[in-house]
């Protein structure tokens, strides 16, 4: 059974930090590129960060560059998103996605709320 399970979301004050995790199972994790997306109510789902299967290439949306870091542990089958200096506009449901060729898998999402 293919699963992507996100965790680590919650309520944090502006300027604070959170680390999101996405644990994969049921497929060959090491062969897949991994992506983080986010979606606020009434808005489009936007790409936040990506990381290649071998961790050699990473990319970030302009809005999070310098604040967020994506990484992966291919032994633990887990991808991470370290989020620092959080802003209210970072509030959204965050989703992880796995892609290899024509195969795409999505997680269920985890809520991040940045508010005082």
Relative to beta strand 18-25, strand 46-51 is unpaired
CA distance 49 to 59: 5
- For strand 10-12 and strand 110-114, is the pairing parallel, antiparallel, or unpaired? parallel
At 108, the pLDDT band (50, 70, 90 cuts) reads very high
Inform me whether the pLDDT recorded for 77 exceeds 90.
yes
The pLDDT, as a whole number, for residue 52 is 96
Sign, CA torsion 89/9/19/80:
negative
- Phi, psi (rounded to 5 degrees) for 40: -95, 155
Nearest to 115 by CA among 28, 11, 6: 11
Quick one: 65 exposed, middle or buried, by C-beta within 10 A (0-12, 13-18, 19+)?
A: exposed
Average pLDDT over residues 83-97: 98
């Amino acid at each position: 059974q293919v699963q992507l399970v996100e965790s680590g979301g919650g309520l944090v004050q502006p300027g604070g930090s959170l680390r999101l995790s996405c644990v994969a199972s049921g497929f060959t994790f090491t062969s897949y590129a991994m992506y983080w997306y986010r979606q606020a109510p009434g808005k489009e789902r936007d790409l936040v960060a990506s990381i290649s299967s071998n961790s050699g290439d990473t990319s970030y949306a302009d809005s999070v560059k310098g604040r967020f870091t994506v990484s992966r542990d291919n032994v633990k089958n887990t991808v991470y998103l370290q989020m620092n200096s959080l802003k209210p506009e970072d509030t959204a449901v965050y989703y992880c996605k796995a892609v290899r060729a024509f195969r795409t898998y999505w997680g269920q999402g985890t809520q991040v709320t940045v508010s005082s």
